[in-house]
Amino acid sequence: MPSPTPEPESFSDDDLLFTCPHCGKNMAIEKQGMGLTIQCPDCRGLVKVPELSEAELERLGGSHAPAPGAQPEEIPHIDFLRDLCERIQGVQKKYGEIESRFSRQQEAVQALQEEVHSLQETMETLTRQMSESASAALSS
């Protein structure tokens, strides 16, 4: 039977698999992203990516595993990723604000359109009444 979330098998071996603590969605992130705080694509909650033990890193990275004693902070990618992550979160936040502002404007535009429509109807009614009373005045 089909599953609403991707099965772990569809993720690469190099990806970290973890579960959103807010909505329970299964997610994957490149292992360089461990320890970062990311935004859940489903519920938009902030999720801390779990860090792997050295043994797991060894298994995942093989010969590319950091030398013993190396701190994750020494990997230049981490700073870059964290920076990128913050920028993405900032853009997503801005996008959300613009989206909600846009939908409010759409509602306002719709209200204006309805108002214009009802004014047009009023005008048509008045025009009809005027021409009716004019023809009534003529025929009397």
114 φ, ψ (degrees, to nearest 5): -65, -40
Pair of tokens at residue 17 = 């698999």
Integer Cα distance of 31 and 140 in angstroms: 92
Least distance CB 18 / Zn ion (angstroms): 11
Contacts of residue 25, defined as CB under 8 A and 6 or more positions apart, other chains included, come to 5, 19, 40, 41, 42, 43
Least distance CB 98 / Zn ion (angstroms): 22
| Residue 84: other Cβ atoms inside 10 A | 13
Closest C-alpha among 66, 63, 82, 59 to residue 13: 59
Tell me which residues in 41-70 interact with Zn ion (CB under 5 A): 42-43, 45
- Total residues binding Zn ion (CB under 5 A): 8
Q: Which window, 8-16, 31-39, 40-48, 111-119, contacts Zn ion (CB under 5 A)? A: 40-48
Q: Pattern 74-103, binding to Zn ion, x per CB under 5 A?
A: ------------------------------
For residue 40, state whether it binds Zn ion (rule: CB under 5 A): yes
Chosen residue from 20, 29, 49, 81 binding Zn ion by CB under 5 A: 20
For residue 28, state whether it binds Zn ion (rule: CB under 5 A): no
Distances (CA, A) of 134 to 59, 121, 122, 123, 137: 93, 20, 18, 16, 5
Q: Which window, 23-31, 55-63, 66-74, 108-116, contacts Zn ion (CB under 5 A)? A: 23-31
Chosen residue from 22, 77, 94, 117 binding Zn ion by CB under 5 A: 22
Binding footprint of Zn ion on the chain (CB under 5 A) = 20, 22-23, 25, 40, 42-43, 45
